[in-house]
Structure 1
């Protein structure tokens, strides 16, 4: 780096520190994460390969090939949420993501509830992704997975992720970048090979419902199959969780968030398209005769050795995904603790010599590991808890979308480097409508023959988590212990846009 470049970098970091001080905080994090490394953190958290490969069989059987279009529709909906988040993080680039955003937009109690829901959702997601890696690890190493093999693999994966995260931000960024490159290149190479050499279906199959109907209509089946997209498009918020570790976060993080949606969504759609067109017999998948079409496709296309190499790339995706999830969870706990909002705050807010929240990272490993260990005794309980993962994150997202609307009603006008200008309110409302619809779709009971607690597991876990958090909040009043700023977004507002600016292009 030249002298002038180093001077500019130092000045930028000083300016970032000054902005943070103006927001009421000081930070000892190492601001070493570039735009692409920040983006790669969100990308590997979103992990198109993990999302597509994990849910492909279930969603193809539920809705047939048109399930592919759910990735496009839900991607557009999540982009609306991403744009709202971009405005908020640009003005409040504080570690912890959704928790400090909620704190500044509405207040301490709202923020405490958002953080509580998001923390449990992240822990459940870490556990779910780690357990989901089991079959792929077994396939890669060529052994038959026993009933508890997936649990042991998941525990090993969480331990590895914790160890890597404790090394520091630079290693986290490098592993995330490596995971991004492996996943993207792997998705392009595998998908391209399948499309060129292993295509068994015409492109028109994407519009073929195979006569799937529920109560005489295909729409309920498509909505059930759209869970593939709903479980795919979150992770962009993780870019903001490490805001204090990224130079010029007000500009870079909103851009990294949008890149996560664009590139991650495109990679997921490409992987899904390649798999659909490579299925030898889609009717067998729909009839339940082929319960693992991904393995069928990969074995047919690459043989035993080649399919193991593909599984190795998939395992890199799982490892980097868990790493990114744990990083997000630890920064949330750190932000919680810095504001004295949680038991053990003195430990959880400490940074190690490597400038990472080491105690928060350990907790972010121990809690998911405990959830995984429940599988040794109660398999259904683990499935129910993991089922809360996605719905919890969507609930936390919508609490931020609502918080932004509440702040706008109080006079807040986003004043960060990224702003939607006159389009902000419209996008905010559209994001709320989309998000509420997505939540209803996710929790809708679709197994009338199953036990009620299975059929309504998402609703049940959401009520239990939010109810317990609300009760604890009322009785212990943890939100009252700290003195950090709250509910003051309107103080940082810029003037409302003029009529001539409303139709303009949103600021970049």
Structure 2
């Protein structure tokens, strides 16, 4: 093959996809920067910081920020395993596709099922958490019903953008993350350099938060790690668009790594800046300030900054939802083209813009179906808790499956990304990290629930994961979709010849 003239990227990618058992149906037009933008938008430093800052400070004071580098390091271990898998099998619906090749159809289907619902319900929470900012822009106080209606509007808007194909999606997402990245970096640096109110010693001060919440220092920090992991998920959106990325076997692993590292750096910068620039961190610990990020920004820059900051947050949430919704649609498309998802014939449809329109409609319907939970704040809180646990569970299952396959000798990374003898150690550490995080998130804690929350919200992670898994197992037993997966998307014998050399 070395004597053949070099091929352009598109034919080579199409041949690689055909060797893996599929036709090129989506538009392959993303470069590495476009792929990075998908991962960056879903991880989203602004969305991630808002999701964890208030909870982190209220549980562990200023010392909560040290959970972030630990969570980032743990997720980088997951990216190492995902990079080897994505390089060898650059397919949309990575969790399902990889598990199928590593462990067989039954395990793969159930893994894909859990992952899909985790993403779709995460989209529900992103849309719901974005809606209050629309009202904040106009200084209005919304009712629960109004929040739900605006959330539906967010969903529909992002669906329409996604329906026009990957190029329009890339344009919107890139514009959003450019505004978000510039604004968040500039705000973080300004708060740290010009509006800092406290010494760096505050970063090791729990402000007596563990005693206030009735937990010990170690248990409080573990609770913060459970929450902090949410700020570093979503990099697998780069995998979702693998079949639309040029030279995907090489570029998708790069995109995952750079998306996670860049977001991690921005999140940690802003977390430290918010703690040190906040006028009264003790008020956050006491539950008197439920939005420490906005408080720190407006205290530093003045009240005039409130509206521009709201716009930045809205842009960030919108870009996050667009990219995540696109990832969910492509995951459903990957399952449906194998005929193993309910209503597969409709869900697998691709429109004239080469967008997975069937997956988009299905993902939007499922996400919107959960939005009425927003009429009750404790219910939407349960959905957020479930989404975090259900996201880390596939991380754990995939890294564990990959490790078992390595040790048995049934899988050796055969793509452009391979960590050689270090791969097994990195894989083992990724299993330990994700296993710890699954247990940590699912562990019922009253300190992670609102005061007076009902018992089912305290147990929401276990109940949610258990319910989705039970429904999936029921479908598996009744419909037996794993039978349809035999021979579908099978690799041709010359796959290894088409794959790049291992490095």
What is the match of residue 45 of structure 2? 48
Correspondence for 2:134 among 128, 131, 137? 137
Aligned residue for 1:400, secondary structure, equals helix
Q: Does the Cα contact within 8 Å between 2:105 and 2:485 map onto a contact in 1?
A: no
Q: Are 1:457 and 2:460 matched, yes or no?
A: yes
Structure 1 residues 489 and 75, CA gap change in structure 2 (3 angstroms):
farther
For residues 61-90 of structure 1, give each alpha carbon's deviation from its aligned partner in whole angstroms, at most 9, with x where no partner exists.
111111111110010001001110000010
Aligned length: 489
- Provide the residue aligned with 1:184 in structure 2: 181
Change in CA separation of 1:209 and 1:379 when aligned onto 2, cut-off 3 Å: closer
The one-character-per-residue Cα deviations of 1:28-50 (angstroms, maximum 9, x if unpaired) are 21111110110010010001111
Q: d(CA) in 1 for partners of 2:288 and 2:181?
A: 31
Give, in angstroms, the shift of residue 147 of structure 1: 2.9
Q: Check whether the contact 2:20–2:492 (CA below 8 A) recurs between aligned residues.
A: no
CA distance in 2, matches of 1:17, 1:483: 22
In structure 2, distance between residues paired with 1:149 and 1:223: 36
Partner Cα distance (2:277, 2:493) in 1: 53
Distance 1:303 1:370 in 2: 40
2:20–2:491 CA contact under 8 A, matched in 1: no
1:471 aligned residue (469, 474, 491): 474
CA–CA distance in 2 between the matches of 1:437 and 1:101? 22
Residue matched to 1:340: 339
Distance 1:201 1:425, change over 3 A: same
Q: Is the 8 A contact 1:97 1:238 kept in 2?
A: no
The 3 A distance-change label for structure 1 pair 151 and 304 is: farther
What TM-score do you get using the length of structure 1 for normalisation? Answer: 0.91
2:144 pairs, out of 142, 147, 151, with 147
Aligned residue among 88, 92, 95 for 2:89: 92
**Cα contact 1:413–1:490 (8 A) shared by 2:** no
Of 457, 474, 483, which residue of structure 2 is paired with 1:480?
Answer: 483
Q: Does 1:306 align with 2:297?
A: no
Indicate the RMSD between aligned Cα atoms, in angstroms: 2.3
* Deviation at residue 129 of structure 1 after TM alignment: 0.7
CA-CA distance at 1:450 after TM superposition: 4.8
Q: Could you tell me how far 1:487 is from its partner in structure 2?
A: 9.2
1:219 aligns with 2:218: yes
Residues 309-388 of structure 1 aligned to structure 2 (within 5 Å): 309-376=308-375, 378-388=376-386
Q: What does 1:90-239 correspond to in 2, within 5 Å?
A: 90-213=87-210, 217-239=216-238
In 1, Cα distance between equivalents of 2:131 and 2:118: 21
Paired residue secondary structure (2:27): coil
Could you say if the C-alpha distance between residues 487 and 209 of structure 1 is closer, same or farther in structure 2, counting changes exceeding 3 Å? farther
Q: Identify unmatched segments of 5+ residues in structure 2.
A: none
Q: 1:346 to 1:450 in 2, by over 3 A?
A: closer
The SS at the match of 2:144 is coil
Change (3 A) 1:290 1:116: same
Moved more, 163-172 or 302-311: 302-311
In structure 2, C-alpha distance between the alignment counterparts of 1:390 and 1:422, rounded to whole Å: 32
Deviation at 1:243, TM superposition (A): 0.8
Q: Is the 8 A contact 2:105 2:486 kept in 1?
A: no
Structure 1 counterpart of 2:27: 30
Pairwise mapping of residues 424-439 of structure 1 onto structure 2 (< 5 A)?
A: 424-439=423-438
Structure 2 counterpart SS, 1:210? coil
TM-score normalised over the length of structure 2: 0.92
In 1, Cα distance between equivalents of 2:136 and 2:380: 23
Deviates more, 1:237-246 or 1:289-298: 289-298
The separation in 2 between residues aligned to 1:489 and 1:462, in whole angstroms, is 36
Q: Which residue of 1 aligns with 2:12?
A: 15
Mapped partners of 1:151, 1:484: distance in 2? 43
Measured after TM superposition, the shift of residue 397 of structure 1 is 1.3
How far 1:344 sits from its partner (Å)? 1.5
Give me the whole-angstrom Cα distance separating, in 2, the residues matched to 1:73 and 1:34: 30
Does the alignment pair 1:273 with 2:276?
no
Q: Distance in 2 between matches of 1:284 and 1:163?
A: 42
Give the drift of 1:272.
Answer: 0.8
Confirm or deny: 8 A CA contact 1:411 1:490 kept in the other structure.
no
**What are the Cα deviations for residues 439-482 of structure 1, in whole angstroms up to 9, with x where unaligned?**
11111222187543222111111111111111220121012124
CA deviations on 1:172-225 (whole Å, 9 max, x unpaired) are 111221122111101111112212332111112111122333567311111122
* Equivalent pair of 2:336/2:344 in contact (CA under 8 Å): yes
Distance in 1 (CA, whole Å) between partners of 2:368 and 2:402 is 34
CA distance in 2, matches of 1:205, 1:79: 27
Q: Give the superposition deviation at 1:507.
A: 7.1
The answer (yes or no) to whether the contact 2:147–2:374 under 8 Å persists in 1 is no
CA contact (8 A) 1:54 1:132 kept: no
Give secondary structure in 1 for the equivalent of 2:8.
helix
Structure 2 counterpart of 1:500 = none
